[in-house]
Amino acid sequence: MDIDKYKYVILSDGDLHFPIIFPPYLEHKKVREKFSEIKEVIGAGFIKKSNDPEDRTLYAYGKSESLNVKSRGDEDTEILNQFFNERRK
């Protein structure tokens, strides 16, 4: 799976943060609607990966136009990698 250009949202329910990654043909707003019971969206945008094939880091950037929510850059990058890369080891 080529994750470059995939989208993400990070939902927050108090101290818990839930990142969701999804393909580019889905709209951020539609994905958010599926998780309406979770309080808020704290970050949204796009994902890219390093050009180094040994580096598994996912990088967050951009903005969701449909949600009007920006990526929080390093904060979102950290959450995405804690959640997804820890599970891929």
pLDDT tens track for 43-68: 999 999 888 888 889 999 999 999 99
Domain boundaries, the chain: 7-88
Q: Are 13 and 36 in contact (CB under 8 A)?
A: no
Taking the C-alpha atoms of residue 86 and residue 84, their distance in angstroms, rounded to an integer, is 6
Task: Write down the pLDDT at residue 65.
Answer: 96
pTM for this prediction: 0.88
Per the listing, tokens 């820890």 go with: 86
- Other Cβ atoms less than 10 A from the Cβ of 24: the count is 11
